[in-house]
Structure 1
Amino acid sequence: MYRERPSQVPGAVVWTRAESGTGAVRPVLPDGCMDLLWSGGRLLVAGPDTHAYAPGSGTRWAGVRFAPGDGPAVLGVPAHELRDERVPLDLIWPGAEVRGLAERIGEAADPAAALEAVALARTPAPDPLMRAVAERLAAGWSVTATAAEAGLGARRLHRRSLDAFGYGPKTLARVLRLQRALALVRRGMPYAEAAVTAGCSDQAHLAREMRSLAQMTLTDYVSAANSDTAMPSGSWTVA
């Protein structure tokens, strides 16, 4: 079962997932975010995804999912270096420190809250420029209009986006548009209407984006979202 709640870390969510080891394990869809993870006594980092990721079954997880662009400042690594990767935190932070943190979190009555405290202690003020870029793309602005509003040329915006989000602004815009559409679908909006409202040209366009970014159909997504082992919703969206 997947659960999430707003975090004390600005713009982030705290989530937990516990699998019984039976039934299908639902994939995590691209959402433009990076996560600090704890599972089985280990601390890991999930980089920004460009495709669906299938987590292992029968495992207890806790995570802090940072808003797009915020993870690199907390974790100390450019987002593009971890794109589509899950890596041990001790490859990024000092090993002795990570072992101590993992032990403390594992002994806590609420590992998710303990993990959140670790993130909160290391969270600097967000980069206002890249936060604004993410917010505008999430709201459906074009890449051209977003770059102009940010006062950045196309090449500079692309370089800044690789460091902040893990991929260029066009890919981030696609990911966030898909999440807008899925948020509307979860609320019961018909597929065709959700597609156009989110910024796709039509339902067929949304279906292609689902195949490309999520490797599943809208029908399969709705079935999974309504299941007992519901997948992460893509929590950082503006719909």
Structure 2
Amino acid sequence: MYRERASRLTGAVVWTNSPSTGGEGRVLPDGCMDLLWHEGRLLVAGPDTHAHLTGDRPGTWAGVRFRPGTAPALLGMPAHELRDRRVALSDLWPAADVRRMTARVNAADDPAHGLEDLALRRAAETPPPDPLLGLLVAALDAGRPVAATADELGLGVRRLHRRSLAAFGYGPKTLARILRMRRALALARAGVPLTETAARTGYADQAHLSREVRDLTGLPPGGLLAAHG
């Protein structure tokens, strides 16, 4: 069973997932990065450019999902170095520090609470997120074109691309594709017909929407909605 709640860390989400049976899962790209706990280990999920297929073993996972663009400062590593990867936290930070953090999380009454406390402590030790990144995400999520967004933010397109690689793991056009797909899936799950969903989210037509969803998730919209509800 999957559950999530808003974190005490601004913009973040705390979640747990305890599948009752085996079976491959599908994590859709969302522009975010996660700090993970699984079977007593701490890991980091980098930004995905396509659906991440999980293993088929049941087991409890917990995570803190950071809003787009905020995790790299907390981790001390540009997002593009973690793109489409799941890595042990000990590969990024000193092993002795990670052992202490892992012991603290494992000793918590709930690993999700322990992870959240770890994220809060880390956030208190690092500068606040660049507000420009939040403006960029908001503009792209509203469907603003990349070039127009760069002008509005006072950045050239190339400079915006470099900053996006470090903050999100990929360029602003990829981020815009992912955010648009998320908007479309939210409408479709709410019962909006796919033809209308495509029109409302800026796709040329339903076929264009279907191609984009399949490219980013590996499934057509109908199959994806059936699998994820």
Q: Is the 8 A contact 2:36 2:62 kept in 1?
A: yes
- The separation in 2 between residues aligned to 1:70 and 1:199, in whole angstroms, is 27
CA RMSD of aligned residues (A): 1.1
What does 1:1-239 correspond to in 2, within 5 Å?
A: 1-22=1-22, 24-56=23-55, 57-123=57-123, 124-226=127-229
Q: CA deviation at 1:62?
A: 0.4
CA-to-aligned-CA distance 1:89-148 (integer Å, 9 cap, x gap): 011111111111112212221110110110111124221011111111111111011101
Q: Matched residues in 1 for 2:119 and 2:84: separation? A: 21
5+ residue gaps, structure 1: 227-239
1:109 aligned partner, one-letter code: D
| 150-159 vs 195-204, greater mean Cα deviation | 195-204
**C-alpha distance in structure 1 between counterparts of 2:184 and 2:7, whole Å:** 24
Give the TM-score of the pair, scaled to structure 1: 0.91
RCO higher in structure (CA 8 A, sep ≥6): 1
Any stretches of 5+ residues in structure 2 without a counterpart?
none
Mapped contact 1:26–1:224 kept (Cα < 8 A):
no
Distance 1:167 1:10 in 2: 23
Identity over the aligned pairs, expressed in percent? 59
Shift of 1:79: 0.3
Deviation at 1:200, TM superposition (A): 1.2
